[in-house]
């Protein structure tokens, strides 16, 4: 076991972003201990074979010498808190650990089994009285590859006395492995912010994601459920806008207008944008009325049959409005009148802003069609009066 732990430490030292290492011997309660340190791991040998000059730093193989301004910082009592979470099953070699989820109330770290780019909740590991685990950084921790490669298929975590401990210098987890005369401390690896597993965590068939990233602490603030971003009772505004572009009566399309992007809209511009939307609706209504007048022109109506095109492609008319559709609008009004939820992420806020903007465009187009329909009804009534008087 001792040789295996030393081999794991050497593997960790060589795979550091900037490899460096040192070893030195010191006295601890009249007993000589050799300490090997690298940026990601510390190895403690309580029965060294050779004796070195006390407190003098030596190189390790061909690795650059690591400088330790204060060697006492790497002593075990200064590296991590007492109390630990025992790991026994080798299935945990592939697991992710998170200080959040359904088991936190039970004073446990959540365990997620990794399957490709997703994680599936498998329960928790209790920290008992070691309450400092509740302040661990909210990111997905996992056992480093260098450890898994050396342990898998060779020895069990139980035989290595594997434990999770909480570092003192940072709110992170570390893995502690031990033999009869040596111990190895390895900092746990962390899932990076850009990796998709952060947004594909499944608990009881429900999808969750880590949210509220803080660049200063390099951690998330919470775990939230992923919900359908399409608002209930409201059709997709983009699809509705495309459907509205095929009116029942022939019409000339309104000239395109450049829409302000969400990122460019300032609060003081909101009123101006609203006025622009109303003006656009009026312009569209006037265009539709002119188009209807042209189609109903008597000269065009008396055009010879031979001059009319033989094949005319007719678009399918959209579904007619019903009282149920009007009732759906009331649901939309109710939703839009609700206060903004405190737990909405910036991503969800931006998405709803886009949908509200699209909804405004759809409403403008709908108002134009309603104005056109009202004008047509007025023309029909006027024609009926003329017929009655003639």
**305 vs 128 pLDDT, higher one:** 128
Say what percent of the chain tops pLDDT 90: 53
Mean pLDDT, range 140-144, rounded to an integer: 97
What confidence score (pLDDT) does residue 90 get?
93
What confidence score (pLDDT) does residue 38 get?
96
**266 vs 170 pLDDT, higher one:** 170
**193 vs 387 pLDDT, higher one:** 193
- Pairing type for strands 201-203 and 118-126 reads parallel
d(CA 76, CA 91): 27
d(CA 200, CA 255): 43
> How would residue 303 be classed by pLDDT, with cut points 50, 70 and 90?
very low
What confidence score (pLDDT) does residue 383 get?
74
Q: Is the pLDDT of residue 92 over 80?
A: yes
Q: Is the pLDDT of residue 275 over 80?
A: no
Residue ranges per structural domain of the chain: 2-190, 237-296+318-389
Q: Which residue has the tokens 């992710």?
A: 96
Residues 216-263 have pLDDT tens digits of 999 999 999 998 655 444 444 444 444 445 454 444 444 443 433 333
Residues 329-378 have pLDDT tens digits of 777 776 777 777 767 777 778 778 878 877 877 787 777 777 777 777 76
Q: Is the pLDDT of residue 109 over 60?
A: yes
> How would residue 283 be classed by pLDDT, with cut points 50, 70 and 90?
low
Q: What is the mean pLDDT of the chain?
A: 79
Q: Which residue has the tokens 């569209």?
A: 284
8-state DSSP, 318: P
DSSP string, 179-236: -SSEEEEEEPEE--TT-GGGG-EEETTEEEEEE--BTTTTB-SEEEE---SSPTT---
> How would residue 325 be classed by pLDDT, with cut points 50, 70 and 90?
low
The pTM of the whole model exceeds 0.85: no
What confidence score (pLDDT) does residue 230 get?
52
Element (H, E) at 365: helix 346-389
d(CA 272, CA 265): 10
d(CA 140, CA 111): 9
**100 vs 261 pLDDT, higher one:** 100
**307 vs 140 pLDDT, higher one:** 140
d(CA 332, CA 338): 10
> How would residue 308 be classed by pLDDT, with cut points 50, 70 and 90?
very low
d(CA 172, CA 191): 13
CATH class of 2-190: alpha beta
What confidence score (pLDDT) does residue 142 get?
97
Residues 154-172 have pLDDT tens digits of 999 999 999 999 999 999 9
Mean pLDDT, range 185-210, rounded to an integer: 96
Residues 60-77 have pLDDT tens digits of 999 999 999 899 999 999
Q: Two tokens at 64?
A: 């650059």
Residues 3-44 have pLDDT tens digits of 999 999 999 999 998 999 999 999 988 789 999 999 999 999
385-to-221, 301, 375, 378 alpha-carbon distances in Å: 70, 20, 15, 11
Say what percent of the chain tops pLDDT 70: 71
Q: Is the pLDDT of residue 199 over 70?
A: yes
Taking the C-alpha atoms of 50, 174, 171 and 74 in order, what is their torsion angle to the nearest 10 degrees?
A: 0
* Cα angle, residue 7 at apex, residues 174 and 77 outer, rounded to 5°: 35
d(CA 181, CA 32): 12
Mean pLDDT, range 277-295, rounded to an integer: 44
């Amino acid at each position: 076991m001792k040789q295996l732990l030393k081999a794991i430490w050497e593997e960790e030292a060589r795979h550091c972003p900037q490899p460096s290492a040192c070893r030195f011997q010191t006295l601890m309660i009249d007993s000589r201990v050799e300490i090997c340190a690298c940026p990601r791991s510390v190895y403690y040998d309580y029965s060294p074979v050779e004796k070195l000059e006390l407190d003098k730093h030596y190189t390790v193989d061909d690795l650059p010498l690591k400088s330790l301004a204060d060697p006492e910082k790497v002593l075990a009592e200064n590296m991590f808190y007492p109390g630990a979470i025992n790991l026994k099953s080798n299935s945990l070699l592939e697991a992710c650990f998170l200080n959040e989820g359904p088991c936190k109330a039970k004073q446990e770290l959540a365990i997620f089994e990794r399957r490709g780019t997703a994680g599936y909740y498998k329960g928790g590991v209790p920290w008992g009285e070691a309450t400092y685990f509740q302040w661990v950084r909210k990111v997905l921790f996992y056992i480093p590859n260098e450890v898994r490669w050396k342990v898998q298929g060779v020895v069990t975590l139980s035989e290595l006395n594997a434990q999770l401990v909480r570092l003192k210098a940072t709110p992170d987890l570390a893995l502690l492995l031990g033999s009869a005369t040596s111990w190895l401390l390895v900092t746990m690896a962390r899932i990076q912010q850009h990796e998709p597993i952060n947004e594909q965590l499944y608990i009881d068939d429900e999808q969750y994601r880590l949210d509220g990233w803080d660049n200063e602490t390099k951690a998330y603030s919470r775990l939230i459920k992923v919900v359908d971003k399409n608002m209930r009772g409201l059709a997709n505004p983009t699809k509705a806008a495309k459907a509205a572009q095929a009116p029942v009566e022939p019409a000339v399309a309104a000239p395109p207008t450049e829409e302000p992007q969400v990122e460019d809209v300032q609060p003081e511009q909101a009123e101006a944008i609203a006025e622009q939307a109303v003006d656009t609706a009026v312009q569209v209504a006037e265009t539709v009325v002119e188009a209807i007048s042209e189609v109903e022109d008597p000269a065009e109506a008396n055009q010879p049959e031979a001059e009319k095109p033989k094949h005319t492609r007719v678009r399918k008319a959209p579904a007619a409005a019903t009282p149920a559709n009007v009732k759906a609008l009331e649901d939309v009004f109710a939703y839009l009148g609700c206060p903004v939820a405190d737990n909405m992420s910036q991503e969800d806020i931006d998405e709803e802003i886009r949908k509200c903007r699209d909804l405004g465009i759809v409403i403008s187009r709908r108002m134009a069609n309603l104005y056109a329909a009202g004008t047509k009804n007025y023309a029909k009534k006027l024609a009926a009066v003329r017929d009655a008087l003639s």
